[in-house]
Amino acid sequence: MPILIAIAVYAVIIARRPMDKRLKKRHVGPLAMVSGGVALFLAWDWLRPASVSTTYFLGEFAGVTAVYLMTWTLVLATRLKWLEQWFGGLDRMYFWHKRWAMWSMVLIVAHIIVTGHGGSAASPQQSANLAQMGQLLGVISALGLLGLVGVSLARVGNFFRLPYERWLFLHRLTGLLLLIALVHGWALDAIIGGSAPLLALYVLMGGTGMAAYAYDELILRRRTPRAGYAVRRVERPTADIIDVTLAPAGPALLPLTGGQFVYLRVGGSRAWREHPFSVAGTYPDGSVRLTIRALGRGTRTLYNDLSEGTPAALHGPYGMFDYTLGGQRQIWIAGGIGIAPFLGWLTSPTSPPPRIDLFYSAPDSGDAPFMPELAAVAKRQPGLRFHPYFSRKRGRLTGEKIQDAVGPLTQDTHVFLCGPARMVANLSRDLHQRGVPRDHIHSEYFAFR
């Protein structure tokens, strides 16, 4: 109960903060997940049979919580547009998707350690065959889920060199493994078997996850907003960056704005797999600009093979990385290809804030192909000050160096960051320590792209 009170107090504090309503909404999703987990524990503790020991209860609840978290991961994988506002964008939804999947694996291990195979804890009404089936299903689901999360870790994936198509196929088995885990819990968990309300709650929880899985597999791919385009222009300003303009191939257009991201699929019958990229610009005729860095096998193939006239399809748009969340004084910080959303904002028809300091960080000038374009925009917009920054000469960009360039960081300053995860984390911490409120530091997670 104290945890629920703490959550309620935190929610009230967020609601009373003087900030954009969109920023307040993004707290609702994580808070709902945590509140649901606490309520689940209270229900399990209150309704558990009296004969169940505390050790067994904790072991079985670890397994139930793992199922609860996996249900959330399946819900977040659906890319439902209306969910974005409650998490702060699809990039943050995938951030939580990954975190909760990893925590579910920790809980599965705890469940196995505490309860063993769970056979001895089956309720008297369960037959020996049912208990054996439950044990087998538990082993299958645990090994399968642990393996799926394992190969999703960057170091493990690089070690096995698993192609994306095979990883995606394996990842799509998550729902089936969750179903197996649900049957395992129903067959062996004496707490669920001894309480009709807990059984109903367990079925509702699992049914939500399976409904999300079915939607993802059977409906999402047919209902995702998409539009046809053709590659109109291809430029390769560096050895690993491709700058692409897509022209609409029909009347259907996606309602895109700079800074959002879309899923791109190029090619005909043997289409290259879809991949998310930030919108680096939109044009009055409906054309879309994407800037892509060749990091993996797929993007390297795209860099080498993409040519003008190639058919393409865009799905989306997604993302809530938006400078209109900030005030009149803003600092934009881009690392490498993280300049893409800022390029999109500078070409957006919406008027930018009156004062912007834009930092474009790259190892050296050869890795900053958009520097001349940004310098030209800065000359046309008197409120935009452009700060190219080359880390090979000057070391990494820090809050102190930013403050030296722009002056005092006041309470009304808003900072927008897009770049490598470590750079974003370090600068976010550094700038907050120098006076920028946490609510005024906005970043986009693009590690999943």
CA distance 288 to 9: 44
From 393, 328, 319, select the one nearest 361 (Cα to Cα): 393
Output the pTM of the full model. 0.84
- The matching CATH number, chosen from 1.20.1530.20, 3.30.420.40, 2.40.30.10, 3.40.1160.10, for 226-318 is 2.40.30.10
CA distance 354 to 376: 17
Arithmetic mean of pLDDT over the chain: 84
Give residue-wise pLDDT tens across range 45-95.
888 888 888 888 888 899 899 999 999 999 998 888 889 999 988 888 988
Question: CA–CA distance from 223 to each of 55, 78, 81 (Å)?
Answer: 46, 11, 12
Give residue-wise pLDDT tens across range 258-314.
888 898 988 754 566 778 888 998 888 889 999 998 887 778 888 888 889 999 989
Q: In this structure, are residues 168 and 111 in contact, taking their beta carbons and an 8 Å threshold?
A: no
Which region holds residue 274: left if phi is over 0, alpha if psi is between -120 and 50, else beta? beta
- pLDDT for position 164: 63
328: which 2 tokens?
């009149």
**DSSP track, 407-438:** ----TTEEEEEES-HHHHHHHHHHHHHTT--G
Averaged pLDDT, 375-379: 90
Give residue-wise pLDDT tens across range 392-409.
889 999 999 999 999 888
Beta partners for 282?
288
Give residue-wise pLDDT tens across range 10-34.
888 888 888 888 888 999 999 999 9
Look at residue 449 and tell me whether its pLDDT is greater than 90: no
Give residue-wise pLDDT tens across range 198-225.
889 999 998 999 999 888 888 876 666 7
**Other beta carbons within 10 Å of 318:** 18
Look at residue 146 and tell me whether its pLDDT is greater than 60: yes
Look at residue 112 and tell me whether its pLDDT is greater than 70: yes
**DSSP track, 40-54:** HHHHHHHHS-TTS-H
pLDDT tier for residue 327 given thresholds of 50, 70 and 90:
confident
CA distance 129 to 135: 10
- pLDDT for position 76: 92
CA distance 168 to 90: 18
Domain ranges of the chain: 2-223, 226-318, 323-443
Look at residue 427 and tell me whether its pLDDT is greater than 90: yes
Question: How many C-alpha atoms does 53 have within 13 Å on its Cβ side?
Answer: 7
Percent of the chain with pLDDT over 90: 32
Give residue-wise pLDDT tens across range 219-260.
876 666 778 899 999 999 998 899 999 999 887 788 888 888
- pLDDT for position 157: 58
CATH architecture of the domain formed by 323-443: 3-Layer(aba) Sandwich (3.40)
- pLDDT for position 315: 87
Beta partners for 290?
244, 279
- pLDDT for position 120: 44
- pLDDT for position 266: 87
- pLDDT for position 272: 66
Look at residue 171 and tell me whether its pLDDT is greater than 90: no
pLDDT tier for residue 420 given thresholds of 50, 70 and 90:
confident
